[in-house]
Amino acid sequence: MKRFAIPCMTAIVLSFANVPAFALTGQSNAPIRIQSDTAELNAEKNYAIYSGDVVVTQNGTQLKADKVLIYRNNGDLHKIEAFGKPAQFNQPADATNPEIFAYGNTITYSRETEVLKLEQGARFVQANNSISGDTIEYDTRRRVAKASGNKTSKERVDIIFNPTPKADTSGANTPMKSSTP
């Protein structure tokens, strides 16, 4: 798979610059709630598999998928893998950041690298801006997104960036007053 150059990626990255780190990471002390049809917990191998309409929540952040694997290392969250058609990630708005929606048939979060990876039909949406492609990697620490298409299927990266309108301070759009009495 060849990564396509994205000339306006800087603008897109800046539009996502205020995204807080992925909340289901262990960076938060809030409990993580997991609901599913079935669960398999393996304490010896430090993983858990949840299947069937899985919903993972923490502090209002939500991950929905058909199947979720959670890996731990020394009692701490190490990695989350979610699978669906598509799996869905949602982080609610806060005082300074709009709501985030992310989609992919596979969503992976690595605690070690702090990267959220969306694969197969990947889409990342914040406010009225979006990035879609075959794969999107979002570095939550550096706040940098990388998107790539799929050379085989000729899927290209698609970016929709809506600049924030600036207030007109020149008076150019102000209606003229008539000097006639």
Nearest to 23 by CA among 49, 61, 51: 61
Q: CB within 8 A of 30, min separation 6: which ones?
A: 58, 59
Residue with tokens 């002390």: 29
96-138 confidence digits (pLDDT tens)? 778 889 999 999 999 889 898 999 999 999 888 999 999 999 8
At residue 19, does pLDDT exceed 80?
Answer: no
Q: How far apart are CA 148 and CA 4, in angstroms?
A: 6
Distances from the Cα of 116 to the Cα of 39, 46, 95, angstroms? 23, 21, 22
Tokens of 166: 């600036």
Instruction: Give this prediction's pTM.
Output: 0.74
Q: To 10 degrees, the CA torsion angle through 97, 99, 102, 107?
A: 70
Closest CA to 121 of 151, 97, 157: 157
Question: In this predicted structure, what is the pLDDT of residue 141?
Answer: 76
pLDDT of residue 147: 92
CB 4 within 8 A of CB 149: yes
Beta bridge partners of 34: 56
Could you check whether the bond before residue 86 is cis, i.e. omega within 30 degrees of 0? yes
pLDDT at 25 over 70: no
| 8 Å CB contact between 69 and 80 | yes
- Using pLDDT thresholds of 50, 70 and 90, give the confidence band for residue 170: low
- Positive or negative torsion for Cα 145, 102, 78, 84: negative
